């Protein structure tokens, strides 16, 4: 399974680190990480740049409970609800869940925008090469 981390507010690197450190407490084991890259915002472009990273993880959680767990980690790390696609302290997305496809309200796996974000595809390759 692969997760994406992103942050564009405050100490972006610290938010990524805090999210990585909080995952095990949510039942998510970190296996490998990509490098961290600085990227321009997509969608709402009038906001700060992002730091992004992809993680390979494993968990016994099914997709919906995994989504609930990563949303809880976002809140624990300090995410404040704002406008969709807007600035955020931390964002955690499920990119892929093995070979499974999920298309439910609020949950799309593989991530619906994965093919539109070349930096995520590059980071997936990066983590798989490590």
| Residues 10-43 pLDDT 10s | 999 999 999 999 999 999 999 999 999 999 998 8
Q: pLDDT-based confidence at 45, cuts 50/70/90?
A: confident
Active-site residue set: 79, 88, 91, 93
Contact 102, 66 (CB under 8 A): no
pLDDT band of 84, cuts 50, 70, 90: confident
Token reading at 40: 């321009």
The model's confidence at residue 128, banded by pLDDT at 50, 70 and 90, is: confident
Q: What is the model's pLDDT at position 129?
A: 85
Q: Which two tokens stand for residue 95?
A: 């990119």
* Kind of pairing between the strands at 50-59 and 107-109: unpaired
Per-residue model confidence (pLDDT) at position 115: 87
Cα→Cα distances 108→15, 54, 98, Å: 24, 17, 13
| Calpha distance 76→79 (Å, rounded) | 7
How much is the pLDDT for 2? Answer: 97
Write down the pTM of the prediction.
Answer: 0.94
């Amino acid at each position: 399974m692969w997760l994406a981390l992103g942050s564009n507010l405050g100490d972006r690197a610290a938010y990524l680190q805090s999210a990585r450190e909080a995952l095990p407490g949510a039942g998510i084991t970190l296996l490998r990480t990509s490098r961290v890259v600085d990227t321009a915002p997509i969608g709402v472009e009038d906001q700060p740049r992002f730091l992004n990273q992809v993680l390979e993880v494993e968990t016994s959680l099914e997709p919906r409970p995994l989504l609930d767990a990563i949303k809880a980690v976002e809140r624990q790390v300090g995410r404040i609800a704002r406008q969709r696609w807007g600035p955020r302290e931390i964002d955690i997305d499920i990119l892929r869940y093995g070979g499974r496809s999920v298309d439910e309200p609020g949950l799309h796996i593989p991530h619906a925008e994965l093919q539109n974000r070349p930096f995520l595809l590059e980071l997936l390759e990066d983590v798989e090469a490590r």
